[in-house]
Structure 1
Amino acid sequence: METLHKSLTVLDSLKQPSKEELKTALIHLEIELEDIKSELKTSQGKPYFRKLLYQNEEVELLVMNWSQLECAPHDHGTSQGWIKVLNGSSLNTVYEVNENGLPSELFAKVHTTGELYYAPKKGVHKMKADKESDLVTLHLYSPPISGMKVYDLEKCTVCVVSDDCGAWWPDEQRQKLKEIQLKNDVMA
């Protein structure tokens, strides 16, 4: 936990951090799997268990322990961030959103232990553990995520979810802040 206490100093110094400042901060945290193992729990039927490690008005730091389930395509609202693979390998699928608001897959890439990858503002992606690996990821976002959109591509629907909902279709009505039916030109 000493490494986590060090993170307070690094993260407290960030003020409206740029993409590069966020990446540099995540690297300087030097958090490894051993540092956060005590924070990990099972996901209980969800794609991941997430634990908020740190949050202020500028940034939030989360650790996620993944099951073998895939999360839904989602964005991070008006936040940008970096994801570091602490253990295992992550299959990250990136989408492009068309003029009707419906995402279509652009590409998928596997990221392995130690790698970092960027999640841009309004960028849509989904993740899952690759090949039954024990995936654990560390996420640093700025500002803290709010207004995240989760997509149901089969139903052509998007839902703005509450801040306590993960990247899956909400189970509880209170987590659905807004639900929008999208037009699918292919089906028309």
Structure 2
Amino acid sequence: MEEPMLTELTGQGWMQILSQSFTTPAELPFVLSKRSLSVEKLVRLAQTSACDDEPYGRKILFKSPEIEVMLAKWSYQASASPHNHGFSKGLIWFVQGDFSERHFIFSEGELKSSGEPVQFKEGSVAQVVSNDIHSCCPVKDGVSLHIYSPAIQKMKVWDLKNRETLTVADECGAWIPKDLKLIANRVKWN
């Protein structure tokens, strides 16, 4: 059964949550708790999105052209592929479990690590900026809440094995899709 509170939140409500929290990301859990969205509710809801085939299961809580809210249930130590979020910015709340995030730069046909991995303890919030390339991985398993504005479009995923950049369908997560219909475009690296 759908959590009643989630159906009450409109696009305008989610935009208010994002705007109230974007400049001070650590405030996101507090802002959500004022709307009765607790860690317990999110963890319970995430259990319905578990996925064995991919690094994480996705549950879209709200989506409009202006905003996308996605809950992810991560498999044990499963890493997302390096990816960006198109032109979107937003926040990632690491609801349950500790996570590691790595940033990358794509230059001259090579994807290179940019700096040391950043560690996020359970409850931490990370900012997402447009076109930043990153990858997340839970230390064990975990749950994360993602709020993006505008809704993600034309996300790119970097395929290290085949040395190519894939533009994936909007409903695809941050992984190399097995279903070729989810690949909108592919560009080989030099």
Q: Shared topology, TM-score over 0.5?
A: yes
- 1:40-97 deviations in whole A, cap 9, x for unaligned? 2321221000100012221111110000221110001111111001100111111122
Residue 91 of structure 2 corresponds to 82
How many pairs does the alignment contain?
Answer: 179
Structure 1: runs of 5+ lacking an equivalent: 184-188
Give the Å deviation of 1:153. Answer: 2.0
Q: Which residue of 1 aligns with 2:38?
A: 32
Looking at structure 1, the residues matched to 132 and 21 of structure 2 have their Cα atoms a distance apart, in angstroms, of: 14
Aligned-pair CA distance for 1:21: 6.2
1:139 to 146, 161, 175: 146
CA RMSD between the two structures: 2.5
* Structure 1 position 35, deviation (Å): 1.4
Other-structure match for 1:186: none
1:64 equivalent among 56, 59, 72: 72
Bigger helix share: 2
Gaps of 5+ in 2: none
Aligned: 1:118 with 2:127: yes
Query: Do structure 1's residue 11 and structure 2's residue 10 form an aligned pair?
Result: no
1:155 to 162, 182, 185: 162
CA contact (8 A) 1:63 1:138 kept: yes
Q: Match of 2:106, as an amino acid?
A: V
Q: When the two structures are superposed, what TM-score results if normalisation uses the length of structure 1?
A: 0.84
Amino-acid identity (%):
25
